[in-house]
Amino acid sequence: MSRTVSDSDPRRALATLAAARGDSLAALSAMLGRNPAYLQQYVQRGSPRLLGERDRRLLSDYLGVSEIVLGAPPARAAGFRVPKLDVAASAGPGALVDGEIALGTDTLDPGLARRLGLKDGQAAIIRVRGSSMEPGLFDGDHIVVDTANRTPRAKGCVFVIRIDDAVMVKRVASVDGALVATSDNPDAAAVAEGAIVVIGRVVWQMREPR
């Protein structure tokens, strides 16, 4: 999810990350709205001694690393905690559930959580079951669901939904004021008929490379 850097010195880490991307420190300073010498002075002279919280957050998001790499105190760089629910979002006929039982929590990089627009108490991790959303989602994938985003657009995006008592993950679009759910796998069975209740939009998938 985020890149890792072995250098424990945030100034050297910043210089290494910038060089790896082909970005000059002057260009990154301009991105922060600072004078061109701002980050050069920070890296070479240690002035300022620490990056400000705003600057560190913007650089963390841009470079794809945890803020702790750029000098954030460990308490401030703690991961974004997301509950894991005992619910299988079926990519097949639908998983019947009586309730949502928390299995514990998992941790997302706080920079990633901000990029995804996630807020505390408005996200969950659930497991995908079935093959109807392949090749995007496979059986056993764990997905991050933004439960604050429940409004499908005309273009259609992937959502976790409920039809009657069945929870499933489907591509959902708003067509002439009505919600239409479809599978990505052309060989999948037709989606069951019934009123669609949107649980949240799928914004991230957590999977080992295949």
Query: Residues 76-93: what's their mean pLDDT?
Result: 62
Give residue 75's pLDDT.
Answer: 52
Query: Residues 60-69: what's their mean pLDDT?
Result: 83
- Contact by Cβ (8 Å): 166, 146: no
- Going by pLDDT thresholds of 50, 70 and 90, the confidence category of residue 91 is low
Contacts of residue 200, defined as CB under 8 A and 6 or more positions apart, other chains included, come to 123, 124, 145, 146, 147, 148, 149, 150, 159, 160
Nearest to 159 by CA among 139, 138, 190, 182: 182
List, for residues 94-130, the tens digit of each pLDDT value: 443 334 444 456 778 777 888 888 887 788 888 888 8
What does the alpha-carbon distance between residue 146 and residue 203 come to, in Å, rounded to a whole number?
7
Worst-scoring range by mean pLDDT, 9-13, 30-34, 108-112, 115-119?
Answer: 108-112
Worst-scoring range by mean pLDDT, 31-35, 89-93, 175-179?
Answer: 89-93
In percent, how much of the chain has pLDDT > 90?
A: 38
Cα-Cα-Cα-Cα dihedral sign, residues 70, 63, 34, 78 = negative
Backbone φ and ψ for 206, nearest 5 degrees, come out as -115, 110
Contacts of residue 13, defined as CB under 8 A and 6 or more positions apart, other chains included, come to 5, 7, 65, 69, 70
Task: Check residues 62 and 73 and name the one with the higher pLDDT.
Answer: 62
Query: Residues 86-90: what's their mean pLDDT?
Result: 57
Mean pLDDT computed over every residue of the chain:
82
List, for residues 174-186, the tens digit of each pLDDT value: 999 899 999 999 9
Query: Residues 155-183: what's their mean pLDDT?
Result: 91
- Going by pLDDT thresholds of 50, 70 and 90, the confidence category of residue 61 is confident
